[in-house]
Amino acid sequence: MSSHSLNDSQPIARVMVAGTGVLGAQIAFQCAFSGVDVVTYDVDTGCLERANTRFDQLGHIYAVELGATRAQIEAARARIVGNINLGSAAAHADLVLEAIPEDLATKQSFYRALSACAPAATIFATNSSTLVPSQLVSVTDRPERLLTLHFAHDVWKHNIAEIMGHAGTDPAVFGRVVQFSRRIGMVPLPLRKEQPGYLLNTMLIPMLLAALGLLVNDVADIQTIDKAWMVAKGDCIGPFGILDGIGMTTVYNVTRALAERTGDSTHRRIAEYVKTHFIETGNLGESTGRGFYRYPDPDFLDPAFVSA
Ligand code: NAD
């Protein structure tokens, strides 16, 4: 089918957001706040209920940080509908924004199921931090309509959108997604080719891994490592504060996959550290109130330091 018959000159008006965790909830709320109709999809109703709590928190943040009015926040909430049935959730979506866990097998099985039920015109965009779209091509029925739209944590203020296709992505689809990202208040950053980690994470992940390496190799404690970055760079957040914001599920998935790939002993110790200190204790970072720091009011230069 040609891209024209699929109306790729039309703006994207309706999206489905798959996965309503840390990033999915932020993406859904930002889209709705920008006037886009959103269906959120997750594995069970408990997840969608937790997403409602996240939307409450985001409403408060948008009021405080962006000066959003009660009417704007209520209108955004009214544009979001939750659905745990994939077929009906995707039925009217121009675009699926996928923010499910950073695990290739999980994503592949999701795209297989989505391909079987989404309308032919629906564009698939993954928010994956480390995968590239060509790793998902074989499990979709529409390679030309597959690409990434990658957001940064705290989408309302760190508002970049990294847009990356694979060799077979239709340029009209790519352009439409660039346009959409602008519409929802993002600064579009189009990439010319596939790059694992895109632009930001290609720079950021080595820094975060270096900080974790300093910790697990017992070179210095968390506060000292963060201070080195913050004081010297004049930054208001250090690597461990950034990791808390990302959330330990994603941090664990990324570090475990890295350790498996490289076999490096520091990478293995990092993944083990994240697992025992955070995954097994349920302290998953800022969103759960505890990670490397306590929340909601961490004082990064004098933190209530929780990890021994
Ligand atoms: P998360 O663990 O907070 O949330 C994942 C959500 O997906 C959960 O609500 C879970 O119930 C749901 N889920 C699991 N399996 C599913 C399935 N088969 N179908 C639908 N929903 C499913 O994860 P996150 O941190 O929001 O990360 C999601 C994606 O976004 C990952 O690919 C990650 O790399 C990427 N990302 C994360 C960040 C970040 O800072 N956390 C930033 C940019 C991109």
pLDDT at 306 over 60: no
Closest to 145 in 3D by CA, of 121, 118, 112, 181: 121
| pLDDT higher than 80, residue 14 | yes
* Cα 22 to ligand 1 centre (Å): 7
Question: 14-190 and 201-301 share one CATH topology?
Answer: no
Confirm or reject: Cβ of 291 under 6 Å from ligand 1: no
Q: Which atom of ligand 1 is nearest to the CA of 153?
A: 40
Does residue 34 have a pLDDT over 60?
A: yes
pLDDT of residue 1: 43
Listed range (51-60, 173-182, 295-304) with the worst mean pLDDT = 295-304
For the Cβ of 158 lying below 6 angstroms from any atom of ligand 1, the answer is: no
Parse the chain into domains and list their residue ranges.
Answer: 14-190, 201-301
Helices 248-262 and 200-216 sit at what angle, rounded to 10 degrees?
Answer: 80
Check pocket membership of 43 for ligand 1, CB cut-off 6 A: yes
On the question of pLDDT at 64 being above 60, the answer is: yes
How far is ligand 1, taken at its centre, from the CA of residue 219, in Å? 32
Distance 4 CA to ligand 1 centre (A): 32
Residue nearest atom 15 of ligand 1, based on CA coordinates: 100
Contacts of 211 (CB under 8 A, 6+ apart): 225, 226, 229, 238, 239, 240, 243
Cβ(47) – ligand 1 distance below 6 Å:
yes
Cα(24) to ligand 1 centroid in Å equals: 6
Q: Which CATH superfamily is domain 201-301 in?
A: N-(1-d-carboxylethyl)-l-norvaline Dehydrogenase; domain 2 (1.10.1040.10)
CATH number of the 14-190 domain: 3.40.50.720
pLDDT in tens, 210-257: 999 999 999 999 999 999 999 999 999 999 999 999 999 989 999 999
**Residue 300 has what pLDDT?**
53
Is the model's pLDDT at 301 over the cut of 90? no
- Model confidence at 296, pLDDT cuts 50, 70, 90, reads confident
Q: Interhelix angle for 248-262 vs 239-246, to 10°?
A: 110
